[in-house]
């Protein structure tokens, strides 16, 4: 069954207004018809309960039967462990109550009014009104960089059990990506796939290993604004570990990278030829210079319906 997904990420406090009609801002109201809205995290710039409520207002203005949202590293208060550390900072302590207030905003009446389902890390199953069903694994976590939320060390693997981790890496997975999942939504990219920025390929190698193992139909993410684009990955023809670029090669590849053609507001219709393929999408709305100049991805996927 053809199902339309409207995919966005890294909106960073962006507000939508029907009176705004700027060619430099492709994400505008009204958005095209979609069955499912996916937001891959970084709703805000530096968190803040009022900012989460404004983000919900923005999401509420987009029409979709199902709206599935995760946090990102900039959505500070939503990470309980991170926020507890900030509250214990003697120099600039934060308010401990802000975590509960932020979670309540994203899961309470405001979220319900906006039609938003805020998802915790793990695997979730959904059925649309027309009977189409799919499973989706989500995670807001990304490799540690600076003092941001939802971080893990590069030698920690959140996505694989110990039997599937690389040498020298420790599995900390409480919710590993399962076999047979239809869609994966993470905040950050896998290593070597739509993760190029001036610092090189900065995606997660352990996430790449999990995707190589599970081969979902679609993987959407954001986080690395400069990596915006779409790519079909055939895992049977792709190494489990990303190759290391030679000296100065990464920065050269970044500046030579061609922009991806996005047919938005028309859908990008895709049907995979073989089960080893994954449609990878970096849906960052913000560009590398923090302007909302990237268009959403409207993707049409074939998903199963229950047998009659």
Asked if residue 90 has pLDDT above 90, the reply is no
Helix (H, G, I), strand (E, B) or coil at 168: coil
* Least confident residue range of 91-95, 205-209, 230-234: 91-95
pTM of the model: 0.94
Task: Give pLDDT, residue 236.
Answer: 94
Alpha-carbon distances, residue 253 vs 201, 225, 245 (angstroms): 10, 16, 9
The 3-class SS string of 209-251 reads: HHHHHHCCCEEEECCCHHHCEEEEEEHHHCCCCCCCCCCCHHH
Tokens of 301: 């996927």
Average pLDDT, the chain: 92
Asked if residue 245 has pLDDT above 90, the reply is no
Alpha-carbon distances, residue 305 vs 36, 38, 126, 177, 277 (angstroms): 15, 20, 11, 23, 21
pLDDT tens column, 120-141: 999 999 999 999 999 999 999 9
Is the Cβ–Cβ distance between 120 and 63 less than 8 Å?
no
Cα distance between residue 305 and residue 3, in whole Å: 11
Asked if residue 31 has pLDDT above 50, the reply is yes
Task: Give pLDDT, residue 24.
Answer: 78
Alpha-carbon distances, residue 37 vs 61, 96, 125, 185 (angstroms): 11, 31, 15, 12
Asked if residue 285 has pLDDT above 80, the reply is yes
Task: Give pLDDT, residue 306.
Answer: 67
């Amino acid at each position: 069954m053809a199902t339309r997904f409207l995919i966005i990420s890294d909106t960073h406090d962006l507000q939508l207004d029907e009176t705004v009609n700027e060619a430099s801002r492709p994400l505008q109201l009204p958005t095209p018809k979609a069955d499912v809205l996916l937001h891959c995290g970084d709703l805000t710039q530096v968190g803040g309960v009022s900012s989460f409520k404004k983000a919900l207002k923005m999401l509420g203005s987009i029409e979709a039967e199902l709206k599935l949202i995760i946090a990102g590293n900039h959505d500070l208060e939503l990470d309980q462990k991170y926020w507890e550390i900030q509250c214990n900072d003697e120099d600039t302590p934060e308010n401990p109550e802000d975590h509960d207030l932020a979670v309540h905003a994203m899961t309470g009446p405001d979220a319900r009014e906006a039609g938003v389902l805020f998802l915790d890390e793990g695997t979730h199953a959904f059925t649309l009104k027309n009977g189409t069903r799919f499973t989706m694994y989500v995670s807001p976590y990304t490799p540690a960089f600076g003092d941001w939320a939802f971080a893990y060390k590069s030698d920690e693997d959140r996505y694989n059990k110990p039997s599937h981790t690389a040498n020298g890496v420790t599995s900390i997975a409480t919710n590993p990506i399962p076999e047979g999942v239809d869609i994966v939504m993470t905040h950050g990219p896998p290593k070597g796939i739509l993760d190029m920025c001036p610092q090189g390929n900065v995606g997660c190698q352990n996430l790449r290993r999990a995707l190589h193992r599970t081969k979902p139909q679609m993987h959407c993410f954001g986080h690395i604004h400069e990596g915006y684009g779409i790519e079909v990955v055939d895992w049977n023809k792709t190494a489990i570990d990303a190759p290391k670029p030679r000296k100065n090669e990464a920065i050269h590849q970044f500046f030579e990278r061609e922009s991806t053609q996005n047919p938005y507001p028309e859908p990008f219709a895709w049907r995979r030829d073989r089960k080893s393929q994954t449609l990878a999408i970096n849906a960052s709305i913000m560009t590398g210079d923090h302007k909302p100049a990237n268009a959403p991805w409207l993707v049409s996927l074939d998903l199963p319906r229950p047998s009659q």
